[in-house]
Amino acid sequence: MLPAGCWTSCVLWNDEKTMKVFADKLADALAKKLPPVVIVAGEEPLQHMEACDAVRAAARSRGIEERDILNVEANFAWGRLRETAASLSLFASSKLIELRLGSSSLGQEGAKALKEHAGELQGSDDVLLIAMGKLDYRQQKSAWFQALDKVGLFVPVWPVDPSRLGYWLRDRAERYQLSLELDAARMLGERTEGNLLAADQELQKLSLLLPKGTRIGPTEITGGVENSARYDVFTLMDACLKGERERVSRIIRGLRGEGVEPPIVLWALTRELRTLLSLHQHLYQGQSFEHACKAQKPAIFDKRRPAYQQAIARLPMKRLHKLLLLAQRLDLAIKGASPLPLWNGLHDLALTLAGGRGLLAELPSSYRVG
Distance CA 222, CA 211 (A): 19
The arithmetic mean of pLDDT across residues 297-322, rounded, is: 89
Residue 361: pLDDT above 50? no
Residues ≥6 apart with Cβ < 8 Å to 23? 9, 47, 48, 50, 51, 155, 157
* pLDDT, averaged across the chain: 85
pLDDT band at 9 (very low <50, low <70, confident <90, very high): very low
Distance CA 300, CA 277 (A): 14
pLDDT of res. 346 = 93
pLDDT of res. 168 = 93
Name the phi and psi angles at 153, rounded to 5: -130, 135
pLDDT band at 92 (very low <50, low <70, confident <90, very high): low
The arithmetic mean of pLDDT across residues 353-360, rounded, is: 72
- Give the pLDDT confidence of 16-37 residue by residue, as tens digits: 454 788 888 898 899 988 899 9
pLDDT of res. 150 = 86
Residue 157: pLDDT above 80? yes
CA neighbor of 311 nearest in space, from 216, 245, 262, 359: 245
pLDDT of res. 321 = 92
Residue 363: pLDDT above 50? no
pLDDT of res. 89 = 62
- Give the pLDDT confidence of 198-231 residue by residue, as tens digits: 889 889 988 888 888 889 988 888 776 767 777 8
CA 203 to each of CA 92, 170, 178, 192: distance values in angstroms, whole numbers, following the listed order: 40, 10, 8, 11
pLDDT of res. 1 = 36
pLDDT band at 73 (very low <50, low <70, confident <90, very high): confident
Residue 349: pLDDT above 90? yes
- According to DSSP H, which parts of the chain are helical? 26-32, 45-61, 79-86, 107-119, 137-140, 143-149, 162-173, 182-192, 196-209, 218-224, 233-242, 245-257, 262-284, 289-294, 305-314, 317-334, 342-353
pLDDT of res. 90 = 57
pLDDT of res. 268 = 92
Distance CA 163, CA 7 (A): 12
Residue 67: pLDDT above 80? yes
What the chain holds in terms of domains, given with CATH numbers, is 19-157 (3.40.50.300), 162-224 (1.10.8.60), 233-353 (1.20.272.10)
Q: Which residues of 332-344 are buried (b: 16+ CB within 10 A; e: fewer)?
A: ebbeeeeebebee
CA 318 to each of CA 131, 195, 321: distance values in angstroms, whole numbers, following the listed order: 46, 37, 5
pLDDT of res. 7 = 37
